[in-house]
Amino acid sequence: MSEKMNKIKLNMDRLVCYFFIYSALGWLLETGYSFLVLGHFENRGFLIGPICPIYGFGMLIMILWLSRYRQKPLKLFFLSILVFSIFEYVVSYGLDAIFHLKWWDYTQDFMNVNGRISLFYSFGWGIIGLVVIHLIHPCIQKITNPIFQKVPVLFQDSILKLLVIIAIIDCILSSIGYWEKSNLVATLFSVYWLS
C-alpha cells in the first residue's frame, strides 16, 4: 500500500472511531436528559444499541467542515446554527418519510418550522459547535491519539470493522422494528401478495 493510501486509511479509521465515540456520547446525553426530565430510562436513539448516529454524523460534519472556523468563533457559531438546523430538519423529514414516526417534535416551541426545528434548539447547535470545536474534540483527540499510535493497526481495524458490522445489523433490525410499528411492512407484504 502506498504512503498516500495508508495515510487516507488511517484518517478514515480515525473518522469511524470519532463517529462511534460521538454517537455513544450523544446516546448518553439523550438518555441522561430523558432520565432527568421523565424520571426513568428511555432509549431515545434510533438504534437498539447505545449509540445515536445523528450525533456521530453531526460531529463528523463539524470536524470535517466547520473546524476550519475555529479561529472565527462568531462565524463558527452562526454556521453551526445554519448547518445543524438544516441537518436536523432533513433527518427529521427523512425519518418521518421512511418510518412515519417522529423522534422529536418542537411544535410547542417558539419559532419552530413544522415541529422539526426550533429557534431554541438551533441556538443550542451554535453553542454546541463552539464547545465541541474548542473543548470536546481537542480532549477526544488527546485521549485517542496515543491509542491510535500504540495499539497495533490490525487490532484497530478489527475492532472498527466489528463495530461497523454490529451497527449495520442494529440498523437493519431497528428499521424492521420501526416499519412494523408503522405497519409499512404489513402494507408492503399485502400489496406484494395481492398483486
User: CA 75, 81, 85: angle at the middle one, nearest 5?
Assistant: 150
Checking if the pLDDT of 185 tops 60, the result is: no
pLDDT score for 184: 56
pLDDT score for 191: 54
Contact 144, 14 (CB under 8 A): yes
β-pair partners for 117: 113
Q: Torsions phi, psi of 117, nearest 5?
A: -140, 160
Q: What is the mean pLDDT of residues 79-88?
A: 96
pLDDT score for 187: 58
Calculate the average pLDDT of the chain.
88
pLDDT score for 46: 84
Each residue of 139-163: pLDDT tens digit? 999 999 999 899 998 899 999 999 9
- As a whole-number percent, the residues of the chain with pLDDT over 90 amount to 64
DSSP string, 80-139: HHHHHHHHHHHHHHHHHHHHS--S---TTSTTEETTTEEHHHHHHHHHHHHHIIIIIHHH
pLDDT score for 131: 96
d(CA 156, CA 153): 5
Q: What is the mean pLDDT of residues 37-57?
A: 87
Residue 116: give the domain boundaries: 3-194
Phi-psi region of 166 (alpha: psi -120 to 50; beta: other; left: phi over 0): alpha
pLDDT score for 40: 81
Q: What is the mean pLDDT of residues 11-34?
A: 92
d(CA 48, CA 121): 25
Q: Which single residue is written with the C-alpha cell 473546524?
A: 67
Integer angstrom CA distances of residue 67 from 40, 84, 106, 130:
36, 14, 28, 9
- Report how many domains make up the chain: 1
Q: What is the mean pLDDT of residues 49-60?
A: 94
Each residue of 100-152: pLDDT tens digit? 888 889 999 999 999 999 999 999 999 999 999 999 999 999 999 999 899 99
pLDDT score for 33: 85
Checking if the pLDDT of 190 tops 60, the result is: no
pTM (2 d.p.)? 0.84
Least confident of 72-76, 80-84, 85-89, 152-156: 152-156
